[in-house]
Structure 1
Amino acid sequence: MFDALTERLSGVFDKLTGRGALSEKDVDAALREIRVALLEADVALPVVKDFVKTVKERAVGEDVIRAVAPGQQVIKIVHDALVGLLGGEGEPEGLSLTGEPPIVILMAGLQGSGKTTTSAKLARRIQTRDKKKVLLASLDTRRPAAMEQLQQMAEQAEAGFLPIVQGQGAVDIAKRAVQAGRLQGYDVVILDTAGRTSIDEDLMAEAKAISDVSNPRETLLVADALTGQDAVETARRFNERLPLTGLVLTRMDGDGRGGAALSMRHVTGLPIKFVGVSEKVDGLDAFDAKRMAGRILGRGDIVALVEKAAEEVDQEKAERLARKMAKGKFDMDDLADQLNQLKKMGGLGGIMGLLPGMNKKMQAQAAAAGMDDNLLKQQTAIISSMTKEERRKPELIKASRRKRIAAGAGVGVPEVNKLLKMHRQMADMMKKVGKKGPKGLLSGFTPPGGGGGPDPALVQRMKGGNAGGLPGLTDNQQSSSGGSSLPGLGGGALQLGPDGLPIGFGKK
């Protein structure tokens, strides 16, 4: 969503950080470029004016001009201003789900904004994270098959669904949903209202009547981030007629310019509570101003990466692998499990998108070098082409067997050789872990370019006793992320090699 803006701002900051000292003229020139970048990203003009004014007031002070690293000071000021624009430093504002059940959540918005999908995603999130029983009800009596669509999505979300009664009006459905929620012991009732292609009086009157009879604790406006300033105007007009408590921005994984996300909080004064990040039923993330500002400025979102790992990693398998590692064992089935864990987390592309400095251009370069999700699929296919005995004892795989495995996976023998080499290197490290613990991995590791000692970045990562590394990244990229590793990935089965490149994911 913010790739173009991130790239423009990175260019501005590169110029600033290359200067030993900054004059007020330098700051003004940088702010002009930031202003253009924000306008091109479709941020509302009043928002841009306020933002630039805030940054300038802080950036032309004596402390910044004479600072040791004035460019870095300006970047921090821009970051803090972005955080303020998006909602401030505090904890993300979640849903209010306390009180006498059922808690009613009313979903409003225009047709095509993603209300129905978001309703199901929200139900899934509340059930899995808040451990509350959720009932979904469709109040869309106009759009063909709208009710049936929500019914199917409720099944995917494993949430309850209010039975369809043909001919019943939206207000009556809302009353029935609240009553059913109370009688059937539901904690939360989510009402998915009808939308229109544009705001009209009938739409607003119906939404107001539903709100009056259901008395919702939360009224969330769902807006499509790809519609730009139209979404901002929609939010403003809904906010004038309904007691909105928050916003949900959908399609944040799209290729839009991102201006709506930066404008809506400022224009409406309402918090952005959630963002849709994929079409999957679990593709709804809590909105965090600080983390979003970090993404916009190219700093990535390591917190989201760790959260994703915590959600997707199979802890039982991770513990089983840890026990095997303690005995110095690591076979092809274990490697396959590691690759599958990466796929669940969104693959290499999804992980790289959350890492500092990894914009779309860099991700494209990584894909061109073979570091993409196709590599995971290829390696999984190669392992699947092996027999059970070969997966348990890879040392049995000689020349003739390699040809058979390559043919079965639809790849060349060199690809099989690379996978076997990757496994062998990882197995050697597992043996070191089993014998000496994580510190055993340091022996023999040298920094890129030599030096005769262990890689300082590796040492730093292992101080906490976790030898984990991210596959597909150079050591510099690893350390730029603050040394973060993915918890639960087999105690850190995916590692960097002696050359500082990830084992099995480096140059072809």
Structure 2
Amino acid sequence: MFDGLSRSLEKAWDSVRKDGKLTADNIKGPLRDIRRALLEADVSLPVVRRFVSKVEEAALGERVVKGVAPDQKLVKVVYEELKSLMGGQQAELVQPKYGPSVILMAGLQGTGKTTAAGKLALFLKKKGLKVLLVATDVYRPAAIDQLVTLGSKIDVPVFELGNKVAPPEIARQGLEKAKKEEFDAVIVDTAGRLQIDERLMDELRETKRVVNPTDTLLVVDAMTGQEAAALVKAFNDAVDITGAVLTKMDGDSRGGAALSINEVSGRPIKFVGTGEKMEALEPFFPERMASRILGMGDVVSLVEKAEEAVSADEAAELAKRMMTAKFDFNDFLKQYKMVSGMGNLSSLVKMLPGMNKVQDKQIQEVERKYAVYESMIQSMTKKEREQPEVLAKSPSRRRRIAQGSGRTEEQVSELIAMFASMRAQMQTLSRMMALSGGAQGMAGMPQMSDEEMMEAVMGNTGPRKVAAGKVRRKRGLGRGMAELVAMQQ
């Protein structure tokens, strides 16, 4: 969502890179670029003015450090101010001294409030807490059924009394059940409206009075931009919320909501929704978000996602096989499944430092290509998966795989060449580590080297002998494979 803002800020650094220090004159251009970038990101004008003023004051007051370029100093200042703008540090859920924590979910219709309640329940469940969902949205058709379905999917119980009982009473009985059965956390999904009205606020106040929540979270749609900040302020003035949950962060929003909410409302963002999967809810860390915006990545979040998706034993075993000649198509497929299990590939790539310039179209092309690879691997026999070299030697096997997966022979050949190139790079790295004493030797070398495998594939894609009276169909390796091999190398 911050791609446009990140690219715009890059221009600001470039304009002072050639100078020896930051001055009142050479900072005017970068500040103008920063102001324009924030406005284009849908940050409210008063917030932009205050932010730019703070950046200017801090940048000109920066002590000159030998060896630190002016653009680096400016990046540091903007990073600190962005972090401060979004709250400075993570705002965690309030933990009660005794009894279950009670989280009241509020919001307008269409913001993903019920889904966010389910995602939060799963998040807390993964923390080892016993969670109860309480359905009090008696107005929206199928709202209760939706929460029951979500609860069933994540194996979290849902308390509901239908749509004939008043929401505050449902919440009260749900809390009683939670206390009696010693639940650790209660999440109350309240009713929403198409717009703020007094009836909504009165009911929310009454429900809040009955359950006395430890947290009252407002669910807002990131797509609404700076309007989300005004919405948080309105709810906070009316019912005194403790924070916000920003949904649809993976959508086509421009970032204004994330950058404006804390500054406008005085209430922090506590969680962000980053996708459609139930696991796609994560705590909001201002410092990590500021790092992503400035193209510095977010390696900490990436590691956390990897730890959730992959067990340490699986990762160690796969790494060991990757550094030897034993790496086969089964391992390749397992590696792909591990990465895809961590979430949206585009968001994962943007967490790597310097990768903010990668276009979504490029990532989508990679995802498409790997989906094609998976279909072809699924059409292989057990022997073919474990011994990729047999495919290099046998055009008939490649033809069978192409037909079975609905692909072309050229695509099968591309897969084999790409795999051989990748494994060759792994073996080269392993040899280098072995020479430096950091790894074992290359035990269990395959019968055919990866270079030989690629040559065999290329050699076997030329014209084939045909029986008398038969017509030869044109086949060939094509440019696609050659370009892919070159790219991999």
TM-based fold match above 0.5: yes
Q: Which shifted more, 207-216 or 408-417?
A: 408-417
Residue 454 (structure 2) aligns with: none
Paired amino acid for 1:420: I
Residues 1:125 and 2:123 aligned together: yes
Paired amino acid for 2:487: G
Q: How does 1:63-212 map to 2 (within 5 A)?
A: 63-64=63-64, 68-88=68-88, 90=89, 92-128=90-126, 130-212=127-209
Residue 491 (structure 1) aligns with: none
Secondary structure of the corresponding residue to residue 122 of structure 1: helix
Secondary structure of the corresponding residue to residue 149 of structure 1: helix
Residues 1:306 and 2:333 aligned together: no
Q: Which shifted more, 380-389 or 391-400?
A: 391-400
Residues 1:506 and 2:449 aligned together: no
Change (3 A) 1:348 1:256: closer
Change (3 A) 1:64 1:260: farther
Alignment partner for residue 277 of structure 1, among 274, 277, 286?
A: 274
Q: Per-residue displacement from partner, 1:33-85 (whole Å, max 9, x unpaired)? A: 21122122221222112111111111123735987511211111111111111
Secondary structure of the corresponding residue to residue 107 of structure 1: strand
The answer (yes or no) to whether the contact 2:280–2:343 under 8 Å persists in 1 is no
Q: Once the 2 structures are TM-superposed, how far is the Cα of residue 300 of structure 1 from its aligned partner?
A: 2.0
Cα distance in 2, alignment partners of residues 35 and 379 from structure 1: 45
Cα distance in 1, alignment partners of residues 65 and 39 from structure 2: 27
Paired amino acid for 2:40: E
Q: Once the 2 structures are TM-superposed, how far is the Cα of residue 194 of structure 1 from its aligned partner?
A: 0.6
Change (3 A) 1:424 1:131: same
Q: What is the root-mean-square deviation of aligned Cα atoms in Å?
A: 2.8
Residue 446 (structure 1) aligns with: none
Paired amino acid for 1:54: K
Residues 1:31 and 2:1 aligned together: no
Change (3 A) 1:334 1:66: closer
Q: Once the 2 structures are TM-superposed, how far is the Cα of residue 161 of structure 1 from its aligned partner?
A: 0.5
Paired amino acid for 1:79: Y
Q: Once the 2 structures are TM-superposed, how far is the Cα of residue 126 of structure 1 from its aligned partner?
A: 0.2
The answer (yes or no) to whether the contact 1:126–1:134 under 8 Å persists in 2 is yes
Cα distance in 1, alignment partners of residues 235 and 42 from structure 2: 21
Q: Once the 2 structures are TM-superposed, how far is the Cα of residue 243 of structure 1 from its aligned partner?
A: 3.0
Q: Per-residue displacement from partner, 1:430-453 (whole Å, max 9, x unpaired)? A: 66788x6x713889xxxxxxxxxx
Q: Which shifted more, 21-30 or 134-143?
A: 21-30
Change (3 A) 1:410 1:440: farther
Alignment partner for residue 412 of structure 2, among 398, 412, 416?
A: 416
Higher Cα Rg, which structure: 2
Residue 50 (structure 1) aligns with: 50
Secondary structure of the corresponding residue to residue 110 of structure 2: coil
Secondary structure of the corresponding residue to residue 196 of structure 2: coil
Q: Once the 2 structures are TM-superposed, how far is the Cα of residue 283 of structure 1 from its aligned partner?
A: 0.7
Cα distance in 1, alignment partners of residues 290 and 321 from structure 2: 41
Change (3 A) 1:75 1:320: closer
Change (3 A) 1:71 1:431: closer
The answer (yes or no) to whether the contact 1:175–1:214 under 8 Å persists in 2 is yes
Change (3 A) 1:440 1:420: farther
Change (3 A) 1:200 1:261: same
Residue 377 (structure 2) aligns with: 383
Alignment partner for residue 399 of structure 2, among 375, 388, 403?
A: 403
Q: How does 1:107-506 map to 2 (within 5 A)?
A: 107-128=105-126, 130-321=127-318, 328-346=325-343, 348-359=345-356, 362-365=359-362, 370=365, 372-397=366-391, 398-427=394-423, 439-440=433-434, 506=487
Q: Which shifted more, 256-265 or 59-68?
A: 59-68
Q: Once the 2 structures are TM-superposed, how far is the Cα of residue 196 of structure 1 from its aligned partner?
A: 0.9
The answer (yes or no) to whether the contact 2:399–2:409 under 8 Å persists in 1 is yes
Q: Per-residue displacement from partner, 1:280-325 (whole Å, max 9, x unpaired)? A: 1111011001110111112222222111111112445334445656
Q: Which shifted more, 288-297 or 299-308?
A: 299-308
The answer (yes or no) to whether the contact 1:274–1:284 under 8 Å persists in 2 is yes
Change (3 A) 1:226 1:427: closer
The percentage of aligned residue pairs carrying the same residue is 42
Q: Once the 2 structures are TM-superposed, how far is the Cα of residue 241 of structure 1 from its aligned partner?
A: 2.1
Secondary structure of the corresponding residue to residue 32 of structure 1: helix
The answer (yes or no) to whether the contact 1:221–1:244 under 8 Å persists in 2 is yes
The list of structure 1 runs, each at least 4 consecutive aligned residues, that deviate by more than 4 angstroms after superposition, is 64-68, 322-328, 425-434, 502-505
Change (3 A) 1:408 1:433: same
The answer (yes or no) to whether the contact 1:171–1:209 under 8 Å persists in 2 is yes
Cα distance in 2, alignment partners of residues 347 and 161 from structure 1: 29
Cα distance in 1, alignment partners of residues 359 and 162 from structure 2: 52
The answer (yes or no) to whether the contact 1:64–1:74 under 8 Å persists in 2 is no
The answer (yes or no) to whether the contact 1:23–1:65 under 8 Å persists in 2 is no
Cα distance in 2, alignment partners of residues 68 and 184 from structure 1: 59
Residue 455 (structure 2) aligns with: none
Q: Once the 2 structures are TM-superposed, how far is the Cα of residue 6 of structure 1 from its aligned partner?
A: 1.5
The answer (yes or no) to whether the contact 2:41–2:255 under 8 Å persists in 1 is yes
Cα distance in 2, alignment partners of residues 214 and 412 from structure 1: 62
The answer (yes or no) to whether the contact 2:144–2:160 under 8 Å persists in 1 is no
Paired amino acid for 1:208: R
Change (3 A) 1:388 1:119: same
Q: Once the 2 structures are TM-superposed, how far is the Cα of residue 349 of structure 1 from its aligned partner?
A: 2.9
Q: Per-residue displacement from partner, 1:87-131 (whole Å, max 9, x unpaired)? A: 11x4x2221234323221101111112110110000000000x20
Change (3 A) 1:366 1:225: closer
Cα distance in 1, alignment partners of residues 273 and 357 from structure 2: 19
Q: Once the 2 structures are TM-superposed, how far is the Cα of residue 199 of structure 1 from its aligned partner?
A: 1.0
Paired amino acid for 2:195: S
- The runs of 5 or more residues in structure 1 that have no matched partner are 444-461, 464-501
The answer (yes or no) to whether the contact 2:11–2:33 under 8 Å persists in 1 is no
Paired amino acid for 1:57: E
Residue 498 (structure 1) aligns with: none
Residue 447 (structure 2) aligns with: none
